[in-house]
A and B are shown apart, each in its own frame.
Chain A
Amino acid sequence: MPQLNPAPWFAILVFSWLVFLTVIPPKVLAHTFPNDPTLQSTEKPKTEPWTWPWH
């Protein structure tokens, strides 16, 4: 099986980690999201009945 050929193992290791550490995280971290995550609370907000006329 050609994958078991040990010759390029170290080169592949170094190169793939290089790409993984330098190229991808800046692209991932540049995605910003407008809302902060909030802890979910179990209370539901109280809704009061309203009598707004539709017309």
Chain B
Amino acid sequence: MTLSFFDQFMSPTYLGIPLIALALSLPWILYPKPTTRWLNNRLITLQGWFINRFTQQIFQPLSLGGHKWAALLASLMLFLITLNMLGLLPYTFTPTTQLSLNMAFAVPLWLATVIIGMRNQPTHALGHLLPEGTPAPLIPVLIIIETISLFIRPLALGVRLTANLTAGHLLIQLIATAAFVLLPLMPTVAILTAVLLFLLTLLEIAVAMIQAYVFVLLLSLYLQENV
């Protein structure tokens, strides 16, 4: 069976165990649970600092009603950034390249923000469908457009994360293959390709962190509209 470049994203199994199960359950070993000691070790201090600063950053613009989501969004951020970053190691499987996983998080959380808005303040939530200062003849068209953009949000959220990570991994595989194949033929070009690969890996590290942050930030914005 010839391999194509997309085969790295097939949910692989090894000895009957789907590797996505391992990729989803093992990374949390890296986050030891802090005890009640006042002075922790460096790892726990760093993780606590990160969680604290991130929560402050995301929830500062939100009104108090939205602060109930703090534990959820902090957990989501840790979840996504860990999976993204660990996927950049060679021979690891990145669960966030699977559209199923990203949609599994995007759709319920987006739906939750919409339902919260509709239940608690339906007029305010529906008011977002019509921007201020719209000329009267344009009102019906604009409401349709805004409704469509509301429903596209979960799709965009899931597909954005999937596409960014899939494209990154695919590029890394392509350029690494090119460098490897060129090595016996044109060593100079192969070295240049290797430098390109290094720069691309740096970019992918940034993309991994940014995409996780963007996912959670957009969810907090949707929450902000509805709370």
Q: Across the interface, do B24 and A29 meet the contact criterion of CB distance under 8 Å?
A: no
Stretch at the interface among B6-14, B125-133, B175-183, B214-222: B6-14
Contact flag A17-B104 (CB < 8 Å), given A28-B74, A30-B33: yes
CA distance A37 to B38 in the complex (A): 18
SS of B interface (majority): helix
Q: Across the interface, do A2 and B9 meet the contact criterion of CB distance under 8 Å?
A: yes
The residue that B101 contacts in the complex, of A12, A25, A32, with Cβ under 8 A, is: A12
Q: Across the interface, do B71 and A31 meet the contact criterion of CB distance under 8 Å?
A: no
Q: Across the interface, do A31 and B75 meet the contact criterion of CB distance under 8 Å?
A: no
- The total of chain B residues at the interface (CB under 8 A) is 39
Q: Across the interface, do B34 and A2 meet the contact criterion of CB distance under 8 Å?
A: no
Nearest-CB distance from A29 to chain B (Å)? Answer: 6
Q: Across the interface, do B9 and A3 meet the contact criterion of CB distance under 8 Å?
A: yes
Q: Across the interface, do A23 and B6 meet the contact criterion of CB distance under 8 Å?
A: no
Stretch at the interface among B45-53, B144-152, B187-195, B197-205: B45-53
Q: Across the interface, do B100 and A8 meet the contact criterion of CB distance under 8 Å?
A: yes
Contact flag A28-B104 (CB < 8 Å), given A2-B6, A20-B79: no
Q: Does B21 contact A (CB under 8 A)?
A: yes
CA distance A34 to B10 in the complex (A): 46
Nearest-CB distance from B8 to chain A (Å)? Answer: 9
Q: Across the interface, do B75 and A20 meet the contact criterion of CB distance under 8 Å?
A: yes
Please give me the 5 A-B residue pairs with the lowest Cβ-Cβ distance, nearest first. A13-B104, A2-B10, A9-B100, A31-B48, A24-B75
